[in-house]
Amino acid sequence: MLSERDLLVRVERLTVTRLKVWVAQGWIKPADAAAQSYSETDLARATLICNLEDDLGFAEEDVPVLLNLIDQIHGLRAELKVLLDVLEELPPDLRATVRLQITRTREYGKR
């Protein structure tokens, strides 16, 4: 776990004000809210927001839109991974059927 101070040191362009705003907006959620401490995930996310605002030139009001999309994509990818893991465990003949159905649906639309 990282303290607020650790986070500020490790994310170069992060300031106390910025972090306060981001937490208030719900863009960053301290891994342990009660202790105000952060995880490596929070750190990477803070770096990403710095990136979006400072390097890619997105305006502050664009950030929640982007984060929302990014969070949705990771939500989708996580669900997709569960689905694929489940398929992986199926008996070979069932797997073959699923594969066939997927190819068909892709090419000819729903059934």
The residues of the shown chain that bind other proteins, judged by CB under 8 A, are 24-27, 29, 31, 39-41, 44-45, 47-48, 51, 55-57, 64, 66, 68, 70-79, 81-82
* Contact call for residues 27 and 42 (beta carbons, < 8 A): no
Q: Residue 79 Cβ, how far from other proteins at the closest point, in Å?
A: 5
Task: Count CB-CB contacts under 10 A for residue 8.
Answer: 16
Q: Least distance from C-beta 81 to other proteins, angstroms?
A: 7
Q: Which residue's entry shows tokens 């190819």?
A: 103
In the complex, least distance from residue 64 CB atom to other proteins, rounded to whole angstroms: 5
Question: Taking phi first (over 0 means left), then psi (-120 to 50 degrees means alpha), and beta for anything else, what does residue 26 get?
Answer: left
